[in-house]
Structure 1
Amino acid sequence: MMKRMFDSTAVRASAVPTASALRRHRSAVLRWSLAHGHAVDRDSLAVIISVASQARPGEVHLLWTSEQLNALLNEDCSNWCSGRGVRYPDGLTTTITTYLRYLCAHRLFSADSDSMTALKRSVADYEKEQCQRLNEHFNSKGAKARHPTSKQQFLAPVLPLY
């Protein structure tokens, strides 16, 4: 019997009721990203915008700092999803990068926001941490190797032949 990969009864994040200003903003971001060929996930975008606007409900949040972005990625999104019975979206980092590009392209960042480079670096650091956690999990001593190539290989050095 196959194990379910996700809860099919969970509500999609884009279906959670929200303020009309946030829905219009999400629609504008989706239209822009599709027109410019950037990857975006509806549910991820709904989570990002909803979580970011929690401090001022119904208003689009335009002040973005590296610290706030780290908190959003590490804790706030998962707390928001679990609090509303929503499945955690898969493409969160890709979508947040697209969303930051949208804000930058439309010059919507608040004057006190960090630079786009610093924000992208925060997203890249988060992705790196996630990859390291996965690697540690799969390379732990308790994990069973299913294939010989999944084990760490110690190969002899390659010497040039003359």
Structure 2
Amino acid sequence: MSTSTIAPAAPRAHAVPVPAAVLAHRRAVARWALSSGRAAHRDALAAIVAARVHSSADAGLPGSATVWTVEDIGTLLWVELAEWCQDAEVELPEQHQVAATLDTYLRFLSAHRLLASGSDPVAALRRAIADYGGGRSRSHPSMRSRMSAPVVPIARG
């Protein structure tokens, strides 16, 4: 008989109990994403919304009339998500899932006019997702590897 124990998997972010208003907001985002053909990973969405609500000065419904800036994107991706996941004792969602879901979430907020005055343009917010490491790689053109042209000898004649 084996006596080895397997540690139970950490709870998932979407399973963390939240107020009804937060759950309704997440459901609205998920429905909109599905109807729009956009990515919305439920653990990533739960972590994004919870981290934002936790760090936000707004006591109201998450995402309602919230100011989002490029700096907020960096803080969310680099600090707030990890802190919330650690506090909630859940696994941090995959980076690519967070990036895709955050992009969808910002589009949802914009489409429903939930971005408050003072927010950066959605295009700048979406670029920040990539710039802060959540999306496709962005590097200065001089840092990208260059393809060499084939070397063809010149005929002497």
Q: Which residue in the other structure is 1:3 paired with?
A: none
Structure 1 residue 121, shift from structure 2 partner: 1.3
Structure 1 residue 120, shift from structure 2 partner: 0.9
Give yes or no for the alignment of 1:159 onto 2:151. Answer: yes
Q: Which residue in the other structure is 1:87 paired with?
A: 91
Q: TM-score, normalised by structure 1?
A: 0.74
Give yes or no for the alignment of 1:64 onto 2:77. Answer: no
SS in 2 for 1:38: coil
Structure 1 residue 60, shift from structure 2 partner: 1.0
SS in 2 for 1:53: helix
What's the % identity of the aligned pairs? 37
Structure 1 residue 57, shift from structure 2 partner: 4.8
Q: Is the 8 A contact 2:67 2:116 kept in 1?
A: yes
Residues 70-117 of structure 1, C-alpha deviation per residue, up to 9 Å, x if partnerless? 100001101110111100111101100010011111111111111111
State the distance in 2 between where 1:108 and 1:23 align.
17
State the distance in 1 between where 2:108 and 2:120 align.
15
The verdict on how the C-alpha distance between 1:78 and 1:114 changes in structure 2, with shifts beyond 3 A counting, is same
Give yes or no for the alignment of 1:106 onto 2:106. Answer: no
Coordinate RMSD, CA, aligned: 2.5
Amino acid at match of 1:71: T
Structure 2's unaligned 5+ residue stretches are 1-6, 139-146
Q: Which residue in the other structure is 2:49 paired with?
A: 49
The verdict on how the C-alpha distance between 1:30 and 1:161 changes in structure 2, with shifts beyond 3 A counting, is farther
Structure 1 residue 127, shift from structure 2 partner: 2.5
After superposing on structure 2, the runs of 4+ consecutive aligned residues of structure 1 that deviate more than 3 Å are 128-132
State the distance in 2 between where 1:13 and 1:65 align.
24
Structure 1 residue 157, shift from structure 2 partner: 5.5
The verdict on how the C-alpha distance between 1:157 and 1:130 changes in structure 2, with shifts beyond 3 A counting, is closer
Q: Which residue in the other structure is 1:139 paired with?
A: none
Structure 1 residue 59, shift from structure 2 partner: 2.6
Structure 1 residue 126, shift from structure 2 partner: 1.6
Describe how 1:7-156 pairs up with structure 2 within 5 A: 9-54=9-54, 55=56, 56-57=58-59, 59-61=61-63, 62-90=66-94, 91-127=97-133
Count of residues paired in the alignment: 134
Structure 1 residue 160, shift from structure 2 partner: 4.0
Amino acid at match of 2:110: C
Residues 26-46 of structure 1, C-alpha deviation per residue, up to 9 Å, x if partnerless? 000000101110011000000
State the distance in 2 between where 1:12 and 1:129 align.
22
Q: TM-score, normalised by structure 2?
A: 0.76
Structure 1's unaligned 5+ residue stretches are 1-6, 133-154
Q: Is the 8 A contact 2:77 2:134 kept in 1?
A: no
State the distance in 1 between where 2:122 and 2:60 align.
25
